[in-house]
Amino acid sequence: MSNVLRALCQCCYKNVLVLFSCVETTYASYRMNTQFTFNSVTDLSVGVGAVDQLGAIARNLNAERLFVVTDKGVLEHGLLDGALSSLQSAGIGVELYSDVIADPPEQTVIDAAERARLGGCDSVLGFGGGSSMDTAKLVAALLTGTQPLSDMYGVDQLRGGRVPLIQVPTTAGTGSEVTMVAIVTTGESTKAGVVSRALLADHVVLDAQLTVGLPAHVTAATGIDAMVHAIEAYTSARLKNPLSDMVARQALGLMAPNIEKATHQGDDLEARSAMLLGAMLAGQAFANAPVAAVHALAYPLGGVYHIPHGLSNALVLPHVLRYNSSAAAQLYCELAPLLLPAGSGFSANTIGDVLAEHFLALSNRLGLQTQLRQLDIPENSLPDLADDAMLQQRLLINNPRPLLREDAVRIYRQAF
């Protein structure tokens, strides 16, 4: 299984997990599953200044020496200052590791775990974006000393559990703080993932103050990604359920009215709080009702042309919404009041076009590119991109409407 998993993106891993859980769970219907499993973290502390509780949280977990996993950017922005002083006041020893790099290579995780072991650490804090939090998950597992990383890849391969783990996101997008997945880079461009319930943290702290310095283009792209997590979870063909629906709707209700404010007035704490909470809720939604064609078509844009994940999603989203509307109109109509300005007109016949135009206009206002040609993607590469997208069957099986290669080519052409 681990070989099969090596070439998949983070969203695919969940789908592999889902395939497995299908074996033991039956689902009543496409529209409303009444038998389902919903996994998430147990404890969440949310609020501006919540990071001051870290000392008490660590003490409750019986931590004595905490390994803090972060990256240089987070450290240089001074984001850790409040956390470290709270831990110090609580008498918790700290070993700081700030060498995480984006899309962390396998070796970074192994080096970090070695540092934690040498430092005598008994617990782990992930503090930063998805890269730091994923590294922290794996260090917490490696610290038990029961299994090498190479043995953990795949679904439920992690056998030895983990030491206590706290997660503090400083970006509002991936939802990694509430997923049971950790992704590492294993080769030039190959990624591998560990999927295990053991990777769900003991405690997650959401403090929007930490996100005020996120640059505008990162806020916009990661925010759209989080909104896509919620939209695709709500329309997920097989595993949507009452709880994933609830968190997806709540996520969109928070993010839709705030993404522009958070992007253009980065110090607006109310908008930042809504985005951080919304992205976490969207993470809970797609962790249990997996994403589909938007992510399947976005993935090759990142893999081949290194376009940031959120922007890749934004580029294909309007066209996938239009394509899916013949199958998902009812669900899109249910989401429309959360997404569109009050008084917007729509019907089941027009909702695909209305949402597509809405997201195109939103991307423009957010300063995101809206066409593949603006990113120097050659037109003659579109069929190859479609071939790549077809490899993402684990995502495509969640799409409300079947999507074939010629559909993918057409969607890329519309996005061109």
Q: Does 225 bind Fe ion (CB under 5 A)?
A: yes
Separation between Cα atoms, residue 173 and residue 178, nearest integer Å? 12
Closest CA to 177 of 60, 278, 312, 104: 278
Closest CA to 166 of 272, 42, 11: 42
Q: Nearer to ligand NAD by C-beta: 41 or 79? A: 79
Nearest distance from C-beta of residue 63 to Fe ion, angstroms? 31
Nearest distance from C-beta of residue 130 to ligand NAD, angstroms? 2
Choose among Fe ion, ligand NAD, none what residue 171 binds, the Cβ cut-off being 5 to 8 Å by kind.
ligand NAD
Q: Nearer to ligand NAD by C-beta: 134 or 245? A: 134
Q: Does 232 bind Fe ion (CB under 5 A)?
A: no
Nearest distance from C-beta of residue 326 to ligand NAD, angstroms? 29
Q: Nearer to ligand NAD by C-beta: 211 or 312? A: 211
Nearest distance from C-beta of residue 212 to ligand NAD, angstroms? 7
Nearest distance from C-beta of residue 362 to ligand NAD, angstroms? 20
Q: Nearer to ligand NAD by C-beta: 48 or 340? A: 48
- Give the residues lining the site for ligand NAD (CB under 6 A): 10, 71, 73-74, 77, 79, 102-103, 128-132, 134, 170-171, 173-174, 176, 179, 181-183, 210-211, 213-214, 222
Q: How many CA atoms lie within 13 A of 88 on its CB side?
A: 7
Choose among ligand NAD, Fe ion, none what residue 45 binds, the Cβ cut-off being 5 to 8 Å by kind.
none
Six-digit token string for 404: 């074939």
Q: CA 192, 193, 194, 197: dihedral to nearest 10 degrees?
A: -170
Tally of CB atoms within 10 A around 378: 11
What is the chain's length?
Answer: 416
Q: Nearer to ligand NAD by C-beta: 113 or 133? A: 133
Choose among ligand NAD, Fe ion, none what residue 160 binds, the Cβ cut-off being 5 to 8 Å by kind.
none
Nearest distance from C-beta of residue 313 to Fe ion, angstroms? 6
Strand locations in 188-337 (E) = 191-195, 203-206
Q: Nearer to ligand NAD by C-beta: 128 or 278? A: 128
- State the Cα angle at 31 between 27 and 36, rounded to 5°: 35
Q: Does 407 bind Fe ion (CB under 5 A)?
A: no
DSSP helix/strand/coil, 184: strand
Separation between Cα atoms, residue 139 and residue 111, nearest integer Å? 9
Nearest distance from C-beta of residue 399 to ligand NAD, angstroms? 19
Q: Nearer to ligand NAD by C-beta: 108 or 324? A: 108
Separation between Cα atoms, residue 236 and residue 397, nearest integer Å? 9
By CB under 5 A, which span of 124-132, 224-232, 241-249, 299-307 interacts with Fe ion? 224-232
**In sequence order, what DSSP letters do the residues of 12-77 get, joined into one string?**
HHHHHHHHHHHHH---S-SS--SS------SEEEESTTGGGGHHHHHHHTT-SEEEEEEEHHHHHT
Choose among Fe ion, ligand NAD, none what residue 102 binds, the Cβ cut-off being 5 to 8 Å by kind.
ligand NAD
Separation between Cα atoms, residue 390 and residue 402, nearest integer Å? 11
Nearest distance from C-beta of residue 62 to ligand NAD, angstroms? 26
Interaction site with Fe ion (CB under 5 A) = 225
